[in-house]
Amino acid sequence: MLGAHPTPGGVVFRAFRPYALGVSVVVESVRTQLHDDGGGFFSGLLPLREVPAGYRLLVSYESAEHETEDAYRFLPAIGELDLHLINEGRHEELWRALGAEPMTHQGVTGTRFTVWAPNARGVRLAGTFNFWDGTGFPMRSLGSSGVWELFVPGIGEGELYKFEITRPDGSKTLRADPLARRTEVPPGTSSIVHASHHEWGDEEWLAKRAEIPAHEAPFSVYEVHLPSWRPGLTYRQLAEQLPAYVSDLGFTHVELLPVAEHPFGGSWGYQVTGFYAPTARLGTPDDFKYLVDALHRAGIGVLMDWVPAHFPRDDWALAEFDGRPLYEHEDPARAAHPDWGTLEFDYGRREVRNFLVANALYWCEEYHIDGLRVDAVASMLYLDYSREPGQWTPNEHGGRENLDAVAFLQEMNATVYRRVPGVVTIAEESTAWDGVTRATHHVGPGGFGGLGFGLKWNMGWMHDSLGYMSREPVHRKHHHNDMTFSMVYAYSENYVLPISHDEVVHGKGSLVSKMPGDWWQRRADHRAYLGFMWAHPGKQLLFMGQEFAQGTEWSEAHGPDWWLLDPAYGAEADHRGVRDLVRDLNTTYRRTPALWQRDTHPSGFSWITGDSADDNVLAFLRLAEDGTPLLAVSNFSPVVRQGYRLGVPDDTPAWHELLNTDAARYGGSDVTTPHPVKPEPRPWHGRPASIRVTLPPLATIWLRPA
């Protein structure tokens, strides 16, 4: 209807300009007044042979007159291939087709707005540029794709906007853009037109990150909640402090709690409304790129929590986006997440699956993210997750597996690994699902292909080992298997050992506060546990604040207790000692291939003693590809064990203490073994030789060939 159209007798011009007193068409230098048809419509027939290439509109209001381009003279600024791929659910760069894209179109600068709303009767564009009145900015429907589009000339970066959607029942709703690249600072909910101007400087990092697979490389992760790590810092201020801190402690990666925009800060980012926009609380999207760039240039990988399991019900976001269930499942019982009051995605709908797969790629390609830790995978995989009998419907085979979610995760992982070499995906999956880190084309005993993740959080190890450590040492011998059971299944998946934010909130206490005994014993246990964790097969993850034995549990309101490291504080040395240990653990770990080269292969591990329950002692060997060993021994009793005999291989002439968590510089009692220990030809623990070492109380020691 709107714009210029050839017709018998010339070209008809139609404009819809509510509140205008008059509208004229300007062709070259000729101005022609259009007829006022009422209701904001203006039209006129000009005796032209063809539609002029560059006409403009002169619009008169009570107080002003302005000349402007006619948005409806432009052809759609989205291609047929884009629409075809969207329809197929295969547009791997969806963010380039949907959302707000500043561009030059048919020689004119402006912004193309596109949105998927297949159930809408109509969609209009509202924003700062039209005083939030979308009446005069109806978008055009592009056929069966369900996509609505409008190129608006003269609109550029920084403009706020939303989509005004007319639902099937005729009611209207004002919605943020699901693919907005930038948002207002909460509690504001508008989308913002954005174009990136960041120039990356991390080419060297990107070139080398794919050289060694993550499961065969050193991988030690510092988990961070950016808004509270040092409260008040912006992305750019964090870029000045976080890389230096993480580099000093020797971690290979940081893992960021969800960065995507979310309305409620208390959700820590796990209830996302802006899947394509970094939270505006800390700065702009380019500011976030600056932070990632700074971490890469410091040699630190960046992992990001990603939340494709659910989304909140806010009425300006995704819930019943166009008046009917769209991103969520149409069955209310399937759509409602039983634990969090949120909505689950409809993984069986190809456009929704495309939205999420493209979102994973978006963070990896546009923000150079090195890995995605996928949250709440178990809640996606099982139809009966947190549901009672009668509250869920079996799949087509009568099982409880969510086949749509399985297919989505397989597609996401396969696509990410194909398009972005060097990126790793990590599953937070708390069940015994078979093949989480198996390739998608390898079918397992359950009949499913692998999910295709690179790594999986070992929630069982975390639960069992923390249960053991929380007990008084006198009782630990009765729970010794809590520390050894993980090796029964250690090679069933590629594991990360997580001491994450989830373990230090909501009344669970900090890591050091879980330990029994007095303050000295708690710190000793804390250090011994970290030494055991860094030596155990699997990668390591430690949440902020635990690296210096913060005594209080984490609160997003104030973050870590940095004052504990103030030299003016009387017990500062206690906390600094634990942080010094973490630094030495990471430094030694990275220099010791035995601790990471064969992390996922049984040949990289061998028990010395896993059954010394009465002594509270665990000892094992880690082995590099060339056979070079590291001997880790943990004494989880509060007594010094003099001359403790351990079986060892007979091909190592002497053993030297590499690390001791009881060293005085860490706050320990300094029971150390300063001189090399030579094996005796006395068989022990099934080994041809043995050594006698003094085991410090509540401590872990690492020994290497001298």
Is 70 assigned a catalytic role? no
Q: Report the C-alpha gap between 501 and 546 in whole angstroms.
A: 10
Q: Report the C-alpha gap between 235 and 133 in whole angstroms.
A: 34
Q: What is the residue whose two structure tokens read 């030809």? A: 681
Q: DSSP 3-state assignment of 487? A: helix
Q: Report the C-alpha gap between 295 and 304 in whole angstroms.
A: 13
List the strands of the sheet with 65-68, edge to edge: 30-33, 22-27, 56-60, 65-68
Q: Report the C-alpha gap between 43 and 45 in whole angstroms.
A: 7
Is 428 assigned a catalytic role? yes
Q: Where are the beta strands (DSSP E) in 117-212?
A: 122-127, 140-141, 147-153, 160-166, 172-175, 191-192
Q: Report the C-alpha gap between 400 and 621 in whole angstroms.
A: 41
H/E stretch holding 33 reads strand 30-33
Out of 375, 547, 584, 662, pick the active-site residue: 375
Out of 69, 346, 428, 657, pick the active-site residue: 428
Residues 602, 438, 590: CA angle, nearest 5 degrees: 50
Beta bridge partners of 161: 127, 191
AA identity, residue 678: K
Q: Report the C-alpha gap between 584 and 249 in whole angstroms.
A: 8
Phi/psi at 446 (nearest 5 deg)? Answer: -80, -5
CB 365 within 8 A of CB 422: no
Dihedral of alpha carbons 450, 403, 406, 408, sign: positive
CB 544 within 8 A of CB 225: yes
Q: Report the C-alpha gap between 288 and 295 in whole angstroms.
A: 11
The two structure tokens encoding residue 335: 């759509």
| Residue numbers annotated as active site | 375, 428
